Amino acid sequence: MIPFNKPYVGDIEVEYAIEAIRSGHLRGDGAFTKRATKLLSDETGCQHVLLTHSCTAALEMAALLLDLREGDEVIMPSFTFVSSANAFVLRGCVPVFVDIRPDTLNIDEQKIADAITSRTKAIVVVHYAGVSCDMSKIMKIANEHDLSVVEDAAQALGSFYKGTALGTIGHLGCLSFHDTKNIISGEGGALLINDKRYLQRAEIIREKGTNRSQFFRGHVDKYTWCDVGSSYLPSDVVAALLCAQLEKLKEITAKRRNLWQLYFAGISASVASVGLPVVPEDCLHNAHMFYLMMESSKARAEFMEQMRLRQVQTAFHYVSLHSSPAGRRYGRVSGAMDVTERASDCLVRLPMWPGLETRSDELLHAIRNSLIGGVVS
């Protein structure tokens, strides 16, 4: 069976993890955290990177930093992972769901203005599949209405918009290193602080609400409880894994792009009836995902079954947030959600992992035959 996902880890990850353990400094903010932070800064161009234990944690930090309160509204897509909304619901905010664009499946920037009310405080954008939202238009709308922008760039490390790394365009950006993402540390994430106003408070929130970071830099003579906060930092063992992965970022991205390109060329040449991913000109993407848009949920189920019979695992997502029990309880929709519903029903993801590019002929053969409903030999 060709699995849907396969973590690309080797000896260096193991070596670094052992080194972190042997160093005796297993807690957070050790030497490997420093190294990983520097590598992320160099890759993204963001001067203020804080490692977290997940992207969910980074999103929660963002909601705390924006000082969001009960009843504040946050505009976001419904076609996303639960954490994009949960972080804000935890602060008592109301997620206001807006439909996505039919081409990139990112939030439809044309529909944001209609969702803005006097209670709107922020826009959360999600760069689906590592392909950028229309950040020029979104930042313009945000500036006009004095709204903050949080980029859920969980899928987007290694992706760029007009040459700028995703996660560094909004006020705050959130990355994930969950083992389904391109660069992994099992669980892991980072907060990118693009607006210096948030820097000092971010360090405090991440360290249980204390000024421990300032204490270690010698800026204060004792550390104390200063603010709300939680424990958002990863162990240095996790940071060691992340270092090893970040050193291979170029290699990993190149391998994924190679497979993405092979899928795209191979499928568009032979099958006209399925929708393929669209990457706008301004976007350089990290090939986080390759998906097909089928004609119906029935066609999707049949395709997935055909692929399974050919020993290839496929997957789909998301149950749209606006239709889920918690989404209905805590959020509201703005406008029609037709594109979101179609993507929920009809999108199917193909296996995507480094190393799989060498088996593209076999994969394309299975895909073509599954699409035309050929008999499995």
Ligand X SMILES: *Cc1c(COP(=O)(O)O)cnc(C)c1O
User: Which of 138, 203, 204 lies closest to 171 in space, CA to CA?
Assistant: 138
The token pair at 316 is: 């789909």
Residue showing tokens 């995507």: 352
State the minimum distance, in angstroms, from the CB of residue 238 to ligand X: 12
State the minimum distance, in angstroms, from the CB of residue 57 to ligand X: 7
State the minimum distance, in angstroms, from the CB of residue 271 to ligand X: 27
Answer whether 117's CB lies under 8 Å from 91's CB.
Answer: no
Q: Is residue 4 packed enough to be buried (19+ CB in 10 Å), middle (13-18) or exposed (0-12)? A: middle
State the minimum distance, in angstroms, from the CB of residue 152 to ligand X: 5
Between 83 and 159, name the residue whose CB sits nearer to ligand X.
83
Question: What number of residues does the chain have?
Answer: 377
The C-alpha atoms of residue 1 and residue 366 are separated, in whole angstroms, by 12
The type of residue at 196 is K
Intra-chain end-to-end CA distance of the chain, in Å: 15
Between 152 and 207, name the residue whose CB sits nearer to ligand X.
152
Between 214 and 323, name the residue whose CB sits nearer to ligand X.
323
SS3 state of residue 125: strand
State the minimum distance, in angstroms, from the CB of residue 129 to ligand X: 9
Answer whether 353's CB lies under 8 Å from 360's CB.
Answer: no
Partner residues linked to 151 by β-bridges: 125, 173
State the minimum distance, in angstroms, from the CB of residue 348 to ligand X: 17
Taking residue 127's Cβ as centre, other Cβ atoms within 10 Å add up to 28
User: Which of 181, 39, 252, 142 lies closest to 151 in space, CA to CA?
Assistant: 142
State the minimum distance, in angstroms, from the CB of residue 343 to ligand X: 14
Between 55 and 133, name the residue whose CB sits nearer to ligand X.
55
State the minimum distance, in angstroms, from the CB of residue 358 to ligand X: 26
Between 83 and 132, name the residue whose CB sits nearer to ligand X.
83
The C-alpha atoms of residue 177 and residue 18 are separated, in whole angstroms, by 19
Between 175 and 299, name the residue whose CB sits nearer to ligand X.
175
Between 59 and 204, name the residue whose CB sits nearer to ligand X.
59
Between 99 and 152, name the residue whose CB sits nearer to ligand X.
152
The token pair at 95 is: 């997620």
Answer whether 240's CB lies under 8 Å from 32's CB.
Answer: yes
218 backbone φψ class: left, alpha, beta (φ>0; ψ -120 to 50): left
Report residue 152: phi and psi, to 5°.
Answer: -85, 90
State the minimum distance, in angstroms, from the CB of residue 86 to ligand X: 9
State the minimum distance, in angstroms, from the CB of residue 298 to ligand X: 27
Between 55 and 94, name the residue whose CB sits nearer to ligand X.
55
Torsion of CA 117, 119, 122, 127, to 10 degrees: -50
Between 79 and 299, name the residue whose CB sits nearer to ligand X.
79
User: Which of 189, 127, 136, 193 lies closest to 155 in space, CA to CA?
Assistant: 127
Answer whether 339's CB lies under 8 Å from 108's CB.
Answer: yes
Q: Interface with ligand X by CB under 6 A: which residues?
A: 54-56, 80-81, 83-84, 126, 152, 154-155, 176, 178, 189
